[in-house]
C-alpha cells in the first residue's frame, strides 16, 4: 500500500496541482458555521473553498445548503 501512496503523491506533484494546507483561518471558519453537515472533513473542504476562494465540486447534496463556493454535479 505504501507504494500506491507514494505513486499518488508523485502523480499529484507532476500534475501541476498545488497542495492546500489546513490553516488556523480554515479551522476558525469551520467553528463559526451552523452544523448543517456533520462530516468534519467535508466542513474543512468547505472552509478552504470559501476562504481561498475556490469551488468545491461535489455530488453531496447535503453541502448545497452552504451555497456560494459549492457546485453540485
Instruction: For residue 72, list its beta bridge partners.
Output: 58
The verdict on residue 14 lying in a domain is: no
Q: Give the pLDDT score at 18.
A: 84
The model's pTM is 0.78
HSE (side-chain half, CA atoms, 13 Å) at 18: 5
Instruction: For residue 71, list its beta bridge partners.
Output: 57
Number of H helices, E strands in the chain: 3, 2
Is the distance from CB of 19 to CB of 12 less than 8 angstroms?
yes
Q: How many domains are contained in the chain?
A: 1
47-56 per-position pLDDT tens digit: 999 999 999 9
**Structural domain for 68, as ranges:** 22-72
Helix (H, G, I), strand (E, B) or coil at 50: helix
The verdict on residue 26 lying in a domain is: yes
Amino acid at each position: 500500500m505504501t507504494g500506491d501512496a507514494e505513486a499518488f503523491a508523485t502523480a499529484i506533484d507532476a500534475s501541476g496541482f498545488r497542495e492546500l494546507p489546513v490553516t488556523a483561518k480554515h479551522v476558525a471558519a469551520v467553528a463559526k458555521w451552523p452544523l448543517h453537515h456533520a462530516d468534519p472533513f467535508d466542513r474543512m473542504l468547505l472552509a478552504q473553498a470559501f476562504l481561498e476562494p475556490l469551488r468545491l465540486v461535489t455530488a453531496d447534496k447535503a453541502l448545497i445548503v452552504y451555497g456560494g463556493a459549492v457546485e453540485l454535479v
